[in-house]
């Protein structure tokens, strides 16, 4: 279904569900970092999920919509359907409406299945998500990683993409935290990145921000992935992020690698991939992340 574009929340709801349905109530949903979120109840008792932010921040939702749609197109894993997007000037908000995922108990093989489905996402055909220029790595438009801008200019080479569109912009933003020695290490790392990272055998569509808070159990008892920062890249970058803040259980990685084998050198490479997210945390949340950034820089 084509997403509805509307000039008010009420207009969006009637365009999606029909004139007779109205918003009858709303309950806040907590747990997000950036937006306000609500479970809206409609007059027939059904539910819809709404995220809202200021009007000025509408671009967050355009970017999220594109990521959700790209991930859904693969059919590999549960991703909520974006239903409506718009600005409500009366309420002073921009909003994104999407399918509400009613929580259910996790299937007993929840983690195995999640691992397999993420691997299927990474093996899904993703030519054309990059750009019309047909360069494999990147995305059709820039988006956000948390609240930071994420550059997705398509590139022929993964290593160049990761250097120019991932590490370099974050390192430039983080300059204010760096002394001369750290700055020098950053420059060296960028210069020699191709001796540490490798081109993947195939490009993969990535969720892009897959930590445990961005996966929930949906009504089918399976994992659904939310709040993407999607782009086409190396699947190792995604796996690395799943390990950064707590990690997923071993059984997840075991079943992942049955579908998409993880190579040995990944253990070393994952540090570079997580450097991107740690730099982003340094830029968003401040100096408490400097030590983790420096630990990785010192290793190489």
Task: Just list the catalytic residues.
Answer: 209
**x/- letters, 32..51, toward ligand ADP (CB under 6 A):** xxxx-x-----------x-x
Minimum CB separation from ligand ADP for residue 300, in Å? Answer: 31
Q: Which is nearer to ligand ADP, 68 or 197 (CB)?
A: 68
Site for ligand ADP (CB under 6 A): which residue of 88, 131, 227, 238? 227
- Asked whether 114 and 129 are in contact (CB, 8 A), the reply is no
Residue 156 burial class via C-beta count within 10 angstroms: exposed 0-12, middle 13-18, buried 19 and up: middle
Using CB under 6 A as the binding rule, whether residue 101 contacts ligand ADP is answered as yes
Minimum CB separation from ligand ADP for residue 104, in Å? Answer: 12
Largest CA distance in the chain: 64
Q: 96-112 burial by CB neighbour count: b if 16+ within 10 A, else e? A: bbbbbbeeeeeeeebbb
Minimum CB separation from ligand ADP for residue 125, in Å? Answer: 25
The separation between the first and the last C-alpha atoms of the chain, rounded to the nearest angstrom, is 48
**x/- letters, 182..221, toward ligand ADP (CB under 6 A):** ----------------------------------x-----
CA distances from 257 to 106, 143, 237 (A): 22, 29, 15
Q: Beta 4-6 vs 82-88: how paired, if at all?
A: parallel
Minimum CB separation from ligand ADP for residue 287, in Å? Answer: 23
Site for ligand ADP (CB under 6 A): which residue of 17, 61, 95, 100? 100
Minimum CB separation from ligand ADP for residue 23, in Å? Answer: 16
Which DSSP string do the residues of 104-173 spell out, in sequence order? -PPPTTHHHHHHHHHHHHHHS--TTSS-TT--SBB-SS-EEETTEEE----BS-HHHHIIIIIIHHHHHH
The SS3 assignment for 219 reads coil
Using CB under 6 A as the binding rule, whether residue 15 contacts ligand ADP is answered as no
Q: Which range of residues in 93-101, 107-115, 151-159, 277-285 is near ligand ADP by CB under 6 A?
A: 93-101
- Site size toward ligand ADP (CB under 6 A) is 17
Minimum CB separation from ligand ADP for residue 51, in Å? Answer: 6
Closest CA to 136 of 118, 157, 151: 157
Q: 234-260 burial by CB neighbour count: b if 16+ within 10 A, else e? A: bbbbbbbbbebeeebeeebbebbbeeb
Q: Which is nearer to ligand ADP, 1 or 180 (CB)?
A: 1
Q: Which range of residues in 96-104, 110-118, 159-167, 232-240 is near ligand ADP by CB under 6 A?
A: 96-104
Using CB under 6 A as the binding rule, the residues of this chain from 150 to 169 that contact ligand ADP are none
Interacting residue ranges for ligand ADP, rule: CB under 6 A: 29, 31-35, 37, 49, 51, 80, 98-101, 216, 226-227
């Amino acid at each position: 279904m084509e997403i509805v574009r509307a000039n008010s929340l009420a207009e969006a709801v009637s365009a999606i569900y029909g004139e007779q349905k109205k918003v009858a109530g709303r309950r806040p949903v907590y747990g997000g970092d950036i937006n306000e979120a609500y479970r809206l109840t409609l007059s027939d008792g059904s539910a819809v999920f709404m995220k809202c932010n200021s009007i000025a921040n509408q671009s967050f939702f355009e970017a999220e919509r594109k990521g959700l749609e790209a991930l859904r197109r693969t059919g590999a894993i549960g991703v909520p359907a974006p239903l409506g997007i718009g600005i409500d000037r009366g309420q002073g908000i921009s909003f994104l409406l999407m399918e509400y995922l009613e929580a259910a108990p996790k299937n007993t093989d929840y983690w195995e299945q999640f691992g397999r489905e993420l691997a299927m996402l990474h093996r899904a055909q993703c030519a054309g998500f990059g750009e019309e220029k047909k360069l494999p790595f990147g995305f059709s438009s820039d988006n956000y990683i948390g609240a930071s801008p994420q550059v997705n200019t398509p590139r022929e080479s993964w290593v160049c993409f990761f250097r120019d569109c991932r590490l370099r912009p974050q390192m430039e933003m983080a300059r204010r935290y760096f002394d001369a020695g750290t700055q020098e290490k950053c420059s060296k790392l960028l210069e020699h990145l191709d001796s540490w990272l490798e081109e993947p055998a195939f490009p993969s569509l990535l969720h892009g921000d897959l930590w445990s808070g961005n996966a929930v159990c949906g009504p089918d008892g399976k994992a659904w992935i939310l709040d993407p920062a999607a782009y086409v890249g190396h699947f190792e970058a995604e796996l690395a992020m799943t390990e950064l803040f707590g990690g997923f259980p071993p059984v997840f990685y075991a079943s992942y690698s049955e579908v998409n084998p993880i190579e040995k050198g990944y253990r070393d490479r994952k540090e570079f991939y997580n450097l991107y997210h740690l730099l982003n945390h340094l830029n968003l949340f401040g100096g408490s992340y400097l030590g983790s950034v420096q630990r990785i820089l010192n290793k190489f």
